[in-house]
Amino acid sequence: MKKQQRLIMRTVILLLLLAAVGYTIYANFFTEKTHVTVGSTAPDFVLTDLHGKKHRLSDYRGKGVFLNFWGTWCKPCEREMPYINEQYGIYKNKGVEVLAVNVGETQLSVQKFADRFGLTFPIMIDNEDQVMNAYEVDQLPATFLIDKNGKVKKIITGTMTEEMVKQYMESIKP
């Protein structure tokens, strides 16, 4: 009787393991993964900015979106922030929005950084790295230029000069 119970228990455990392995294989190879590439639709997201306002990317359809991933500790990010802020002042009235996504730092450190540079565009914190992962960001700074139809027009990694920021904003102006 004990041998039969052990056999049943082992069979159940084996079937559960096989089901788990089968699901893992299915999920990794047969489900569609979205890779963010030039020409693809930008993944939608909702994040709250430093002032408590929610920003949903899809709400910006009809505008060009300059989506920038950054960190306060990132020296190239620090160098380009004043350029982005300067050009935002020019292009926000021409249909271009800047959305700056900080990658998981505290609100206090991000707010101090924003105050130090006088940043006027919306700054959100991606606390759980969900947006960063959706966009497959592995290096900072990373900027996604999104056109008025929600399509990724260009992906930039690394520091931008002010002239580059200006050209990129001009290129997504609706």
Handedness of CA 59, 40, 131, 81 (dihedral sign): negative
Peptide bond into 141 cis (omega under 30): yes
pLDDT value for 55: 95
CATH 3.30.565.10 applies to domain 46-171: no
Nearest to 68 by CA among 53, 87, 52: 87
Structure tokens at 36: 């963010």
CA 84 vs CA 31, 79, 117, 159: distances in Å: 38, 10, 11, 11
Which residue positions in the chain have pLDDT lower than 50? 30-33
Domain ranges of the chain: 1-31, 46-171
pLDDT value for 26: 56
120-169 confidence digits (pLDDT tens): 999 999 988 889 989 999 899 999 999 999 999 999 999 999 999 999 99
pTM of model > 0.75: yes
pLDDT value for 12: 81
